[in-house]
Chain A
Amino acid sequence: MSTDSRFDGPGPDDVWRDALRQERFLIQRCRNCERHRFPPALVCAACGGSDLVWVEASGRGVVYASTVVREREGSYNVALIDLAEGARLMSRVDGLAPEAVRIGMSVTARIETAPEPILLFHATDGGVL
């Protein structure tokens, strides 16, 4: 085989999903520029480097933007979360009314495993800004 060993093993999406199934929240850090990235990829979008390493995310974040999706069956929150490490992701802030999720609110990650593993957030201090 003449494949490049740096890219051996499962791809980044697989690694991330497997970790989530084991209730671990991983993100990638670039060894070249030290920036974090999410979602997973083979290269660093910040510097173009291809030497990324998996690290445990702190799970701490701040709500960057929030919306309430209004469906006939009920309303729910969808939010963009800025992680303490610097990456941004889409998720849901649970544990309070969907309208009560505010920009700037401190949130903490948690993983629900059933029915499917999913990364969610809750207000760090009960929702008080």
Chain B
Amino acid sequence: MSSSLRGRAAIAGVGNTKRWNAPGRTPFDQLQEAVVLALEDCGLGLKDVDGLFCAISSSGLPVLNVAERLGLKVRHADGTMVGGASFLFHLQSAVAALENGLCDVALICYGSNQLSAGGRLVSMPDPQPYETPYRARYPISSYAFAAARHMYEYGTTRENLADVALAARAWANLNPDAFARGPLAREEILASRMVSDPLTRADCCLVTDGGAALVITRADRAKDLKSQPIYVLGTGVAVSHRQIAAMPDLTTTAAVESGRRAYAMAGVKPTDIDHVMVYDAFTITTLLFLEDLGFCAKGDGGAFVSSGATAPGGGLPVNTNGGGLSCNHPGMYGLFTVIEAVEQLRGRCGERQVEGAELALAHANGGVLSSQATAILGTATTL
């Protein structure tokens, strides 16, 4: 029955503060600005919002905090917290809520001051007594295990990982709003300080501030609003573990399942997709998700990226904003994968625009490869 949701809802408005280093602003300040921008983008107001979806690293009660600040009297809310993929879980939940009349205007929003607040990863209390005594660096050591396994099983190299960071930077250099721009050499990445073998500092995403928001309505309403609607053709979510030791196979993520569900709902296959956004928390995640979402065979991710396929000028434009590695990464980056997909499908991306992009895939990850969520978005021609 899931295919009945195909194209029933649309992203009507997007908001992105692009304030990657903004001292003096709280996470809620970033979030509120993004919400104002998203509502202005589609010509709706706060009074129209009756469904609220949010998660914030620093707040255990995000729905209450956000509703109070925005003065929202919502009749549906979802504060699901599964890390950086939360907002794509929210998207699936919003599509279902809209379809069933639980709300008419859904708002998905996020804000962070991770960089200006001190540059540390902010996370809610979540004790892990079977891991804490071993002092693994959270979260990088978990991703290091996955990278080590990928190298062991498939011969992936540190050069392959470096090429993920290089491709991200090449895209960022075409995006005036990216935080990390400028020349970057493979040797520079390989010489970067090792943090948790085999991952170096250069394999890690940025630490930035930022705020983002989406306004979603039913498709029939979205087409009468101010900006070009981008249709939600498919969504899929999956969870597999909390602690990395409980992940069944460290080289195959639950993106296989979330992707399968999203493709099935959308009725498309990987070769149909024009533009791809995958959550690059660490260089290894780009490889894992390209493989698990069917853009290359399992184990071939390194060779695929090193061939230049995902960089500007390649056959598959991936992470065209510069990704978490070079554009921005305010703690939980998931919403930004959807925002860049919408911008590309609307043709608003200037120098980095993917010509004729009609169908995009946005994929987000949460925890330590723990939660996976995939969204397939399209222009009106794909309906």
Which chain A residues have a beta carbon within 8 Å of chain B's beta carbons? Answer: 13, 38-39, 64-70, 76, 78, 80, 88-92, 99, 103, 116, 118
Contacts and interface: CB of A to CB of B under 8 A. Distances in A.
A15 B370 CA distance: 27
Given A65-B250, A67-B196, A68-B196, A103 B148 contact: yes
B226 interface: no
Interface residues of B, number: 26
Contacts of B131: 90
Contacts of A99: 197
A80 B245 contact: yes
Contact of B148 (A67, A89, A91, A118): A67
A67 B193 contact: no
B135 A69 contact: yes
Contacts of B134: 78, 90-92
Given A80-B244, A90-B244, A103-B149, A67 B133 contact: no
B141 interface: yes
Interface of B: 129-131, 133-137, 141, 144-146, 148-149, 152, 193-198, 243-246, 250
A63 to B, nearest CB: 10
Contacts of A38: 130
Contacts, number: 67
B245 A67 contact: no
Nearest to A68: B197
B245 A90 contact: yes
A70 B149 CA distance: 19
Contact of A89 (B137, B144, B198, B245): B245
A64 B194 contact: no
A78 B149 contact: no
Nearest to A92: B134
A76 to B, nearest CB: 7
Given A13-B129, A89-B130, A69 B148 contact: no
15 contacts: A38-B130, A64-B149, A65-B152, A65-B250, A67-B136, A68-B194, A70-B197, A78-B134, A78-B141, A80-B245, A88-B245, A90-B130, A91-B134, A103-B148, A116-B133
B194 A70 contact: yes
A118 B130 CA distance: 10
Contacts of B250: 64-65, 80
A76 B144 contact: no
Contacts of A78: 134-136, 141, 196
Contacts of A69: 135-137, 141, 195-196
Given A78-B141, A118-B133, A90 B195 contact: no
Nearest to A17: B129
Contact of B152 (A67, A88, A103): A103
A88 B246 contact: yes
B134 to A, nearest CB: 5
A70 B193 CA distance: 9
A39 B130 contact: yes
Contacts of A13: 129
A66 B135 contact: no
B196 A70 contact: yes
A39 B128 CA distance: 10
B92 to A, nearest CB: 24
B247 to A, nearest CB: 9
Given A65-B149, A80-B145, A116-B133, 15 more contacts: A13-B129, A39-B130, A64-B149, A64-B250, A65-B146, A66-B148, A67-B141, A67-B148, A67-B198, A78-B141, A80-B245, A90-B131, A90-B134, A91-B134, A103-B149
B185 to A, nearest CB: 22
A69 B131 CA distance: 14
Contacts of A92: 134
Contacts of B244: 80, 90
